[in-house]
Amino acid sequence: MPGEERLREVVAAMLELDVADVDDDTSTDTVLTWDSVRHMNLVIALEQAFDITIPDDDVATMTSYPIVRAVVEEQLGGG
Amino acid sequence: MAAADVATPALDRLEARFRSASPIFRDAVPRVRTLLGGRWAADADDAVARLLPSDDAVAGAVDGYARFALDALRLQARFEQTGEYRHRTYDEVAAAVYLDDEYMRTCYLPGLLLAHYLWPHHYRQLRAFDAWAEDVARTGPGRCSEVGVGTGIYSRRLLAAAPDLLGTAFDISPQSAAFARRHAEAFGLGDRLRVELRDVIADPPEPADHLVCVEVLEHLEDPVAFLGGLRAMLRPGGRAFIATALNAANADHIYLYRTSSEVIVQLEAAGFAVEGYVSNWAAVPRRPGVPVPEVIAFMVS
């Protein structure tokens, strides 16, 4: 997706990871510090960085980097 | 067996479900277990065992809690930016929350029930209530009323602590009334708690010896008028436990209290004498000046 590098930077910053460590294996199963507070910080940071609104139903299901990317893409009109 | 090592099979089941179905809340149970210890664990285990007895019930509650808690976190972040709650009128909240039968049954009420145990500031308020209930128990036989019974947790704890009391609980939500009824029955208190669907302001009941009203004021457009009606439900010499939330942007909060003194002014204007209060914050402020959700309970007469 366009802006994927920015997406990885936001995810890395909010989950306190190195950008290089954010890939398709990044998920709540592999990142043990991905808790509810960091999750909500991630949602808000994504909304601000990409000027989008993430629907409530998607907030609860964004449990991996591929899903995060798909949700952001959809809200940018590319999904 | 040390208190911290008490066996908690139902709580363990809840924790396992969080880990598998809602991993961002995987620390919800162990975090509070570490913070509040074995007494909390035994109490929470008892509630989960009685109120969520099947795997399906646990699964529904975990899903409901996750939605409830994420919604609250999101609204709180918005509140930090705007300084205002999302909804301003009861009709807006009713349409978004109270009239949504499925949301109430599967999300709101199970989520609220778990939040009483999993949010330390809410559980600490329950412990303060338990201390108040012990004082009430010493006054002997009598009648207590709870307005806005919600999940039924406060009436249940009061009746368990005070075996000589009979209780009546009021709510305007059919789902809450049904949930509270089941809650009392699950603890063997169904014959001592009558649950009524009633708007106590429009249709006032007989005054009671003791009164409980927890986290109702912030759901109202005009809590001052409501408090006047509440005062009339308490017999002279009776005591009441009235709690509300400050700076807490839940989906159905309308009236924004920013400070404890705002509530005290309203309680006193309604004719209550404030004996004291207990306040608990949800967290330390993220930055100086950022409002933190707070629950505050007033002991009044």
pLDDT band at B2 (very low <50, low <70, confident <90, very high): very low
- Model confidence at B4: pLDDT above 80: no
Smallest CA–CA distance, residue B4 to chain A, in Å, is 24
Q: Which residues of chain A have pLDDT under 70?
A: 78-79
pLDDT at B251: 87
User: DSSP character for A18?
Assistant: -
pLDDT tens figures, B106-152: 888 998 999 999 999 999 999 999 999 999 999 999 999 999 999 99
Q: Which residues of chain B have a CB within 8 Å of the CB of A34?
A: 23-24
pLDDT tens figures, B156-188: 999 999 999 999 999 999 999 999 999 999 999
Question: How far, in Å, CA of B231 to CA of B238, rounded?
Answer: 10
Binary contact (B73, A40; C-beta < 8 A): yes
DSSP chain B: --GGG---HHHHHHHHHHHHH-GGGTTHHHHHHHHHHHHHHHHHHHHHHHHS-SHHHHHHHHHHHHHHHHHHHHHHHHHHHHSS-S--SHHHHIIIIIT-HHHIIIIIHHHHHHHHHHSHHHHHHHHHHHHHHHHHHTT-SEEEEEES-TTSHHHHHHHHH-TTEEEEEEES-HHHHHHHHHHHHHTT-TTTEEEEE--TTTS----EEEEEEES-GGG-S-HHHHHHHHHTTEEEEEEEEEEEEES---TT--S---SHHHHHHHHHHTTPPEEEEEEEESS--SSTT----EEEEEEE-
Q: Does A40 touch chain B (CB under 8 A)?
A: yes
Beta bridge partners of B147: B170
Question: How far, in Å, CA of B63 to CA of B118, rounded?
Answer: 14
By mean pLDDT, which of B52-56, B160-164, B282-286 is the weakest? B282-286
Interface size A-B, in CB pairs within 8 Å, comes to: 40
Percent of chain B exceeding pLDDT 90 equals 81
pLDDT tens figures, B19-50: 999 989 999 999 999 999 999 999 999 999 99
CB B257 within 8 A of CB B245: yes
By mean pLDDT, which of B182-191, B216-225, B284-293 is the weakest? B284-293
**Nearest residue on chain B to A42, alpha-carbon basis:** B74
- Model confidence at B68: pLDDT above 50: yes
pLDDT at B1: 46
User: DSSP character for A9?
Assistant: H
Name the amino acid, one letter, at B238: G
- Model confidence at B244: pLDDT above 70: yes
Of A70, A62, A4, nearest in space to A28 by CA: A62
**Nearest residue on chain A to B71, alpha-carbon basis:** A56
CB B173 within 8 A of CB B153: no
- Could you tell me the pTM of the whole model? 0.92
Quick one: CATH architecture of B120-300?
Answer: 3-Layer(aba) Sandwich (3.40)
Task: Work out the mean pLDDT of chain B and round it to a whole number.
Answer: 94
Q: Does A28 touch chain B (CB under 8 A)?
A: yes
Mean pLDDT of B277-298: 92
CB B104 within 8 A of CB B98: yes
pLDDT at A78: 67
Binary contact (B74, A43; C-beta < 8 A): yes
Residue of B10 and B74 predicted with greater confidence = B10
pLDDT at A61: 87
Mean pLDDT of B83-87: 92
Domain limits, CATH 3.40.50.150, in chain B: 120-300
Question: How far, in Å, CA of B108 to CA of B220, rounded?
Answer: 18
Binary contact (B74, A60; C-beta < 8 A): no
This model of the complex carries an ipTM of: 0.80
- Model confidence at B3: pLDDT above 60: no
Residue of B12 and B90 predicted with greater confidence = B12
